Amino acid sequence: MSTITTKDGTEIYYKDWGEGPVVTFSHGWPLSADAWDGQMLFLVQNGFRVVAHDRRGHGRSSQTSAGNNMDGYADDLAAVIEALDLTGASLVGHSTGGGEVARYIGRHGTGRVAKAVLISAVPPLMLQTKANPEGLPKSVFDELRAGLFKDRSQFYKDLALMFYGANRSGAKVSQGILDQFWLWSMQSGVKNAYDSIEAFSETDFTEDLKKFDIPTLVMHGEDDQIVPVKDSGPKSAQLIPGSQEIYYPGAPHGMTATLQDKVNEDLLAFLKS
**Pairing assessment for the beta strands 3-5 and 11-17 based on DSSP bridges:** antiparallel
92-128 tens-digit pLDDT: 999 999 999 999 999 999 999 999 999 999 999 999 9
Which of 94, 236, 253, 266 is an active site residue? 253
**Pairing assessment for the beta strands 89-94 and 113-119 based on DSSP bridges:** parallel
What CATH number does the domain containing 200 carry? 3.40.50.1820
Whole-angstrom distance, CA of residue 271 vs CA of residue 273? 6
pLDDT of the residue at 1: 73
Q: Does residue 224 have an active-site annotation?
A: yes
Pick out the chain residues at pLDDT < 70.
Answer: none
23-46 tens-digit pLDDT: 999 999 999 999 999 999 999 999
Percentage of the residues of the chain whose pLDDT score is greater than 90:
99
User: Which residues constitute the domain of residue 22?
Assistant: 3-272
Q: Does residue 71 have an active-site annotation?
A: no
pLDDT of the residue at 205: 98
Q: Is-cis flag, bond preceding 124, omega within 30? A: yes
CB-side exposure of 18: number of CA atoms within 13 Å?
20
3-state helix, strand, coil in the chain (%, to 5): 45, 15, 40
Q: Does residue 185 have an active-site annotation?
A: no
Which of 224, 236, 243, 266 is an active site residue? 224
Q: Is 164 exposed, middle or buried (0-12, 13-18, 19+ CB in 10 A)?
A: buried
Q: How many domains does the chain have?
A: 1
DSSP state of 124: S
Which of 62, 95, 188, 232 is an active site residue? 95
